[in-house]
Structure 1
Amino acid sequence: MPRLEAILGDITASKLDAVVNAANTNLAAGGGVCGAIFLAAGAGLPEACREQAPCPTGEARITPGFALKAKWIVHAVGPIWRGGDEDEAGLLASAYRESLKLAAAVGASSIAFPAISTGIYGYPLLHATKIAIATCIAAPDEITEIRFICFDESTLNIYEHVLKSF
């Protein structure tokens, strides 16, 4: 089982092998984490993403890290929350699982995740956190370290609480 931890921080500053972008299906620059990653990664990222778009919900794509400290950026498309009756849980778990598979496939042993789908996509944070952690515990053997990088204290508190229950 990989080492899992949650920290408060800026995912664009992560020195882990891979960082995960909470992406949209067009793999285009957006707001929040996505916008910050595009800004920090620099000029090469938009073209690299255009070449791999579209990316269906629940799937992921991988690009170089460009100007980031991380070698790789995994672009995971989580679901928009629509009340829970449209397989949002399955799609969210799939986005995490596919991110882990892609990272392992390029030789990454460490990966940083944001709280996928919990911003503008509206996924309830506690529910999303439980899915994220349960999915990441079953990461491929190549992944030895997983860090959940939280944007604010309230998100960090929920991640820490859920991590204690696993």
Structure 2
Amino acid sequence: MGKLFLISGDIIENSKGMDAVVNAQNKYMDYGGGICGAIYRAAGADLLDYCKKTYSTNMETGEVRITSGFNLNMDIIHILAPVSYEEKDPINKLMESYDNLLESILENHYQKVIMPSIGTGTFAYNHEDIAQPLMEKLNNFCTNNNVAIYFINRYPLYTNIYLKELINIKNIDLKNDLIKCDNIKKYLEDNNLINLNSKALY
């Protein structure tokens, strides 16, 4: 059985020791903003050069492409999320993209992967709308496979949205299960609900 960790902070700062990092890619596989830009900067110019030379077609929605991480010293799993307002059934379409992502993790035998919440930037998905189905999907995946997923959001405010849903999915009653407030941090960490040792918390 694997583990699902929810963490806050910078995806690059927290990627040490991972087998792969997930990139919320644009269809051109070009230098972008947000997570995509951070990964391209950390990987170095060779990543952009490789993508330009290797891929002659744009990515399709939900498509996964895997490259070397170059300076990152881990693979990069590039995925193109759907654009929320362009889809008739945006939530299910996004979950299908996550299915493709998780399948690629298994096919490539990755055991430690750090991933952001894809689609919640310029592609306009709301964290509140996707948290429940996504946490259920990732929790089931980690329960049934020997993979550790580090699900990261830059701000604790967003991480807490997913944490709330994960607690509900695991049927944990914090009020009854915890005797002291001082035990909350340890309890959440012991139950793989959150990892508070991540870097760049703000």
Structures share fold, TM-score greater than 0.5: yes
Q: Partner of 1:117 in structure 2? A: 119
> In the alignment, does 2:44 pair up with 1:49?
no
Q: TM (normalized to structure 2)? A: 0.73
Give matches, 1:92-111, under 5 Å.
92-111=94-113
1:36-95 superposed Cα distances (whole Å, 9 cap, x missing partner): 1111111221133332342211121111111114x1111111111218x52322221122
Q: Partner of 1:135 in structure 2? A: 137
Q: TM (normalized to structure 1)? A: 0.88
Structure 2 gaps, min length 5: 170-202
Q: Considering only aligned residues, what root-mean-square deviation do their CA atoms show, in Å?
A: 2.0
Aligned match for 1:165, one of 168, 171, 184 = 168
Equivalents in 2 of 1:131, 1:46: separation in Å? 33
1:140-166 superposed Cα distances (whole Å, 9 cap, x missing partner): 855520111111121111121122122
Deviation at 1:130, TM superposition (A): 2.4
How many percent of aligned residue pairs carry the same amino acid? 34
Distance 1:4-1:31 versus aligned 2 partners, 3 A rule? same
Equivalents in 2 of 1:31, 1:38: separation in Å? 9
Q: Partner of 1:154 in structure 2? A: 157
Equivalents in 2 of 1:65, 1:30: separation in Å? 16
Deviation at 1:22, TM superposition (A): 0.7
Equivalents in 1 of 2:39, 2:110: separation in Å? 18
Q: Partner of 1:39 in structure 2? A: 41
Deviation at 1:4, TM superposition (A): 0.7
Q: Partner of 2:187 in structure 1? A: none
Q: Partner of 2:77 in structure 1? A: 74
Count of residue pairs the alignment pairs up: 164
Q: Partner of 1:10 in structure 2? A: 10
Secondary structure of the 2:162 match is: helix
Of stretches 95-104 and 55-64 in structure 1, the one that deviates more from structure 2 is 95-104
Q: What amino acid does structure 1 have at the position aligned with 2:77?
A: V
Q: Partner of 1:22 in structure 2? A: 24
Secondary structure of the 1:19 match is: strand
Bigger Cα Rg: 2
Q: What amino acid does structure 2 have at the position aligned with 1:54?
A: N
Of stretches 106-115 and 95-104 in structure 1, the one that deviates more from structure 2 is 95-104
Structure 1 gaps, min length 5: none
